[in-house]
Chains A and B, each alone.
Chain A
Amino acid sequence: MSTVVKSKHAIENRPGWADEMAAMLEAYQQAGGEPAALQLPQVATLVVSANTVLMSHEIPGIHFQAEPLEHGVKATIQVEPNARIENPVHLCFGVIPAEGIQHILANYEIGDGAEVKFLAHCSFPNAVKVQHLMEGSIHVGKNASLTYTEEHFHGQTGGVEVLPRVRVKVDEGGRFNTTFVLTRGRIGRMVFDYEVEVAATAVVEMTTKAYGHADDEVVVKEVVHLNGEKARGLTRTRVAVRDQARSQVFTTMEGNAPGARGHMDCTEIVRDRAVAQNTPLVIVRDDQAQVTHEAAIGSVNRKELEALLARGLDEDEAVDLIIRGMIR
């Protein structure tokens, strides 16, 4: 792995930095990250290995504050009001050793009218017994826009426990668009817990994609409160489970104000002896709000399958292609 050349890295002088950075970059790449992007001066980056900030690079309009905890890092990420950040901010969290605990306390403050995208990668490539706890709070200011994409790689042993718990507040006219992807390697155990409050005319879109094998366990809990007039919310959940893996999806959408519109869309594909569950909860407290949901749980759609068979694929190839497409 090439060395990272970028200004403002006081941390680089730490002994062993280069080795750890190289290991993180490799892990980053396994999670789907693009190491070259971390080296660009115009790209803001924050790289945290276990409880060490290996790299923190700010650009105008973005501020990072990070302090180590016993088993992790407390970080504040601030985007100035009206800042338009062109290049996605790259975040990288990981634990390289086989065992460890990483506790991330993250606080995102997106100023009014700001526009920013985050690309986060979390990698635990060698995990035999790793716990990643993430407690996040996200505040999207008035008319601000936050797009947050997070991709995970948990290695091949299933020894990871990932517990993200995030509370989000989106102010009037704000947009929060988040995608969480865990489709490579094993999952281990994951409890994904998001709760979002949406103010008037604000829009929230949450997409979660996971592929569980062996005895992986996925729990997705998403709660969206459409509190303001004409607030809009969409949750899209795409989970595939095989072997003895289990998935449970709980989504709640509340329409609490006039003109609020919410939709929950869940597809879970089940193979082998895996078990999938979907529990949508709809609450409407205003006679001018509307919340809808659709769910398809089970084997792949027969019509889709036959369409692929008619091109000469066998059943396994066809099911795999459908699943790969769904969680892509």
Chain B
Amino acid sequence: MTEPILKIENLSLRREDRPILNDVNLEIYPAQVHALLGLNGSGKSSLAYTIMGCEGYTPDRGRILFEGKDITHLSITERARLGITLAWQEPARFEGIPVGKYVGLGVNPPDRERVIQALEAVALPAKVYGYRSADKTLSGGERKRVELAAVYAMRPRLAILDEPDSGIDILSLGEIANLIRRMAIEGVAVFLITHRDELVETADVVSLICAGTILFTGKPLEARRYFTSRCIPHLEALGSQPWDTSKPEVQEAFASNGLLKLVAQAAERQTGKEQSA
């Protein structure tokens, strides 16, 4: 069995005295797409920032190992130079930095062709976008594509993609899914945070996170079974099917248990299938 490229051990994170991540254990393998699913506020981005080493995201407990080496206290730059990078959920805007330059930042040694190829992989022609600034004038979806192109161009060892699909139109989701697969084929370990089925389908492994706790890690199909067997009964126990959100206990459950929405979605899909069958 290959060794995990990233190993997270008993990781806990508090911010402003609130627990955000609780005893997270996770292994991510090279050339695999590992999806992380969870409701808004469940701690997905926080886990991404903690792996990247962002300011304010130093864990209180636990370790992060990259290729067996403890990187828990390395700087962002040091981690990036080891081959870890992050495509931000809401990427920053840069006045006066051309898209082509931004995409090429992590490409070492510099390689124009790679930059052009990366832009093309996200359907942004280099001729049209290469010299535009990566600033506020890019649309939300364009900026997200640029971000993804920059990560792809860098050929990282571990790419953390924080909702690369948000703001991307439905017609282009296929392209994004292809690119994610292509990264895995090129040997990159992809840690994929997403809400979209289209992208979950690219995953080799799925983890479910709820209120900062990893509930489940396994094959996508098993993850679905987990929804049905563990979460739907949990929901039914609340006695509020079909999820009357005006009820305080449901609201509370939504607030505290990120899985509820996923369960709701899964159940809706199931109902849809039953009806069409």
Q: A interface vs B, CB < 8 Å?
A: 238, 301-304, 306-315, 321-322, 324-328
Contacts and interface: CB of A to CB of B under 8 A. Distances in A.
A310 B94 contact: no
Contacts of B54: 306
A307 B96 contact: no
A299 B200 CA distance: 39
A312 B95 contact: no
B215 interface: no
B82 to A, nearest CB: 9
A146 to B, nearest CB: 24
Contact of A326 (B76, B91, B96): B96
Nearest to A322: B94
A303 B75 contact: no
A321 B97 contact: yes
Contact of B91 (A238, A307, A313): A307
B154 A325 contact: no
Contact of B154 (A301, A306, A309, A311): A311
B205 interface: no
User: Which 6 A-B pairs give the minimum distances between C-beta atoms?
Assistant: A325-B96, A311-B106, A328-B96, A309-B76, A311-B105, A312-B80
B139 interface: no
Nearest to A304: B92
22 contacts: A238-B95, A303-B92, A307-B88, A307-B91, A308-B105, A309-B76, A310-B52, A310-B79, A310-B85, A310-B86, A311-B85, A311-B106, A311-B154, A312-B80, A314-B77, A315-B77, A322-B97, A325-B95, A325-B96, A325-B97, A325-B133, A327-B96
A310 B156 CA distance: 11
Contact of A324 (B85, B86, B96, B150): B96
Q: Which of A313, A321, A324, A325: most chain B Cβ within 10 A?
A: A325
Interface of B: 52, 54-55, 75-77, 79-81, 84-86, 88, 91-97, 105-106, 108, 133, 150, 154
A326 B92 CA distance: 14
Given A302-B55, A306-B54, A307-B91, A312 B96 contact: no
Contact of A311 (B80, B93, B96): B80
Contacts of A310: 52, 76, 79-80, 84-86
B105 A313 contact: yes
B97 A306 contact: no
A277 to B, nearest CB: 21
Contacts of B96: 324-328
B162 to A, nearest CB: 11
B105 A309 contact: no
A285 B180 CA distance: 56
Nearest to B103: A311
B13 to A, nearest CB: 17
Given A311-B154, A312-B108, A306 B94 contact: no
B155 to A, nearest CB: 12
A217 B180 CA distance: 50
Nearest to A326: B95
A135 B202 CA distance: 66
Nearest to B56: A302
A313 to B, nearest CB: 7
A307 B92 contact: yes
Residue in B77, B80, B81, B84 whose Cβ sees the most chain A Cβ within 10 Å:
B77
B94 A309 contact: no
Nearest to B82: A312
B95 A306 contact: no
Nearest to A318: B77
B84 to A, nearest CB: 8
A328 B131 CA distance: 13
A282 B85 CA distance: 43
Contacts of B79: 310
A317 to B, nearest CB: 9
B32 to A, nearest CB: 21
A312 B54 CA distance: 13
A307 B91 CA distance: 8
